[in-house]
Structure 1
Amino acid sequence: MLEININTAYALALSFIVVIAIGPWLIPQLHKLKFGQAIREEGPQSHQAKSGTPTMGGMMIILGLVLSTLVFANHTVEIMLAVFVVLGHFALGFLDDYIKVVRKHNEGLKPRQKLLGQIIMAALVAVFGGLPTDLWVPFAGSIDLGYGFYALLFFVMVGATNAVNLTDGLDGLASGTVAVAAFFYMLVCCAMGKTDLAIMCASTIGACLGFLKFNYHPAKIFMGDTGSLALGGVMAALGILTHTEILLAVIGFVFVCEALSVMIQVTSFKTTGKRVFLMSPIHHHFELKGWSEVRVVWTFWAVGVIAGALGLALCIFGM
């Protein structure tokens, strides 16, 4: 049975209000500092008009999310571990954006540097998190993976953060799909009695919805890696701390597709010299097929809702 604590609603409201309140102040400040987004020349030509739009807006998302979580959730080991994962990836994303935007090195952190940072955070969680090594499988219950759990932990943390990062390519796409996924994970947490993690989910929803006011097409600000890596950290933490990594792949189906499209594209081009998609990640493929940016975003949101509903059904009926 789904029982939603009133603090969950308060957390959603507070994070939403914090982001809405900060946005009108932060956006002009980022303009003054010339913290504008550089648009890749190899990307869709329609995106060149976005050049100079302020980025690093993830700062206000994470402020609203973390503040609201700490105000309304109990400060359990579980919650503090989740906050650590979020803030750790926030710091990594901030550093990447800082190098790109402030130091004017367009590539930011090198891929191997970013990957190393993600691996270090996963290692810290594995060593100091004290997590049980079981995996919940729908209709089968919990299965003890032993040391295999730590391999899964690394895969989920690195995979989820990169997948959400890849999804952040269109106005409102990442913030909207994360809000949808967090909503269904909130219901999953409620069904499992994970009240404090449900509060973190609600804080994520409120922060993402608040950010959408400024990030929906045409975007006035982008979240940058500062936000996308941190939000990926939220999704990874939810999957790992509830031991529902399988559900994470279902509820986060959009993110999985985005990551797989890049892997397929790179593998195909390196092995055959041919591209499977017009451009990856897959949201750009649909743009180049002639879909408007808004149509792509709304379609991906809808797919996220369907995937989230399926994941919630697996949780409820698979217990």
Structure 2
Amino acid sequence: MYIPAIIAGLISFIMTPLVIRIAHRFGAIDVPKDDRRMHKKPMPLWGGIAIFTGFFVSMFLFSNIATGKLIGLFIASIVVLVTGMIDDVKPLGAKSKLLMQIIAAVILVKSGFEINYFSDFFGDSGYIYLANFALPISVIWIVGVTNTVNLIDGLDGLAAGISAIAAVTLSYIAIINYRYDAALITLILAGSSIGFLPYNFNPAKIFMGDAGALFLGLVLAAISVEGALKGATAITVVVPILALGVPIFDTAFAILRRLINKRPIMEADKGHLHHRLMSIGFGHKKTVLSMYLISALLGAGAIALLKQNWIHALVLLVLVGVVVFIPVNRSLLIQKKDNLE
């Protein structure tokens, strides 16, 4: 199971220098033009092409999932990858991007990546079948997760590393649920993400761009549907949310923050967790590594919950709360002081 992941990583690693040249050739360059961007010099985009290539070469060579599902995942990935590539060069409107994400999500659902039921929290029936609601609920989940990864892609190595950690967590969860096909997909995704990291970690030589972030988000969403949400216990509904906790919670708080401040939900700001950590003096690498730690703790908490090890899960989640609360609270105090001055 590890050989496909290693091969995916090697292909991604080998492809990245070529993608850098391609990005320069086609003008896919991110030029820092506002204070929200953390880089100071023009940076090639489209790193997602390398991740995509490593992932699907290994998938077509080694994956044993149904052909229809694999083709569906491939086509849906092409849709978001191309959408992201275009957006990286000539920004698309939010509605256009959302429409393409919905199309990709519908393709995934129709190929078999669908939430058909939830475990019954309160009754004795075992499952709550979604019937006609399966399609819209699945599409909402897939589009939501796809966008969360895109929103955390704000620092060198952040989205790729968080995605790799989430993928490893979901792989373990899939194995617990005897979904070895889903476990293989997650390990391949982790491998292709890790293969890209040497060029993307600070100081980065290339960014994954929207092309990479949307692709990673889409595949993580598909994996979570396939390997985590189809468990036999009620707690499995919570598990993928924790496994993908960093992007999901960061996005949820961003939406809440913008609603409170009466700002457009899709408007970018500097209130994300990584911005908060940077504002209190964390360096670039320290911030990214701290986010990795938070993601790993949430992943461990998800696994502990799935195993019904309540004490371990509680300790891990409290630890995450402390790790996040202290710097965020300090950042808010600094911001309040600056506003008073």
**TM > 0.5 between the two?**
yes
Match of 1:148 among 112, 119, 133: 133
Q: Is the 2:36–2:269 contact (alpha carbons within 8 Å) kept by the matching residues of 1?
A: no
Match of 1:65 in 2: 55
Match of 1:92 among 76, 83, 91: 83
Match of 1:25 in 2: 18
Q: Is the 1:135–1:243 contact (alpha carbons within 8 Å) kept by the matching residues of 2?
A: no
Match of 1:253 in 2: 245
Q: Is the 1:261–1:282 contact (alpha carbons within 8 Å) kept by the matching residues of 2?
A: no
Q: Is 1:11 aligned with 2:7?
A: no
Match of 2:95 among 80, 102, 112: 112
Distance 1:123 1:31, change over 3 A: closer
Match of 2:209 in 1: 224
RMSD: 2.6
Query: How many angstroms apart in 2 are the aligned matches of 1:128 and 1:237?
Result: 11
Match of 1:102 in 2: none
Q: Is the 2:28–2:88 contact (alpha carbons within 8 Å) kept by the matching residues of 1?
A: no
Q: Is the 1:119–1:158 contact (alpha carbons within 8 Å) kept by the matching residues of 2?
A: yes
Identity %: 26
Give the number of equivalent residue pairs.
296
Q: Which range moved further: 65-74 or 150-159?
A: 150-159
Partner of 1:62, secondary structure, is helix
The Cα shift of 1:25 comes to 3.0
Match of 2:104 among 102, 106, 121: 121
Match of 1:315 in 2: 306
The Cα shift of 1:219 comes to 0.4
Query: How many angstroms apart in 2 are the aligned matches of 1:255 and 1:23?
Result: 24
Query: How many angstroms apart in 2 are the aligned matches of 1:130 and 1:202?
Result: 18
Q: Is the 1:85–1:234 contact (alpha carbons within 8 Å) kept by the matching residues of 2?
A: no
Q: Is the 1:134–1:145 contact (alpha carbons within 8 Å) kept by the matching residues of 2?
A: yes
Distance 1:39 1:136, change over 3 A: farther
Distance 1:138 1:230, change over 3 A: farther
The Cα shift of 1:29 comes to 4.0
The residue identity in structure 1 corresponding to 2:19 is L
Match of 1:290 in 2: 281
Q: Which range moved further: 278-287 or 195-204?
A: 278-287
Q: Which range moved further: 231-240 or 143-152?
A: 143-152
The Cα shift of 1:241 comes to 2.1
Q: Is the 1:180–1:205 contact (alpha carbons within 8 Å) kept by the matching residues of 2?
A: yes
Q: Which range moved further: 259-268 or 27-36?
A: 27-36
The Cα shift of 1:304 comes to 0.7
The Cα shift of 1:92 comes to 2.0
The residue identity in structure 1 corresponding to 2:105 is A
The residue identity in structure 2 corresponding to 1:231 is L
Match of 1:37 in 2: 30
Query: How many angstroms apart in 2 are the aligned matches of 1:69 and 1:22?
Result: 16
Unaligned runs of 5+ in 2: 230-236, 310-341
Partner of 1:147, secondary structure, is helix
Q: Is the 1:137–1:246 contact (alpha carbons within 8 Å) kept by the matching residues of 2?
A: no
Q: Is the 2:158–2:288 contact (alpha carbons within 8 Å) kept by the matching residues of 1?
A: yes
Partner of 1:270, secondary structure, is coil
Q: Is 1:215 aligned with 2:200?
A: yes
The structure, 1 or 2, with the larger RCO (C-alpha pairs under 8 Å, 6+ apart) is: 1
Match of 2:46 in 1: 56
Q: TM-score scaled to structure 1, two decimals?
A: 0.84
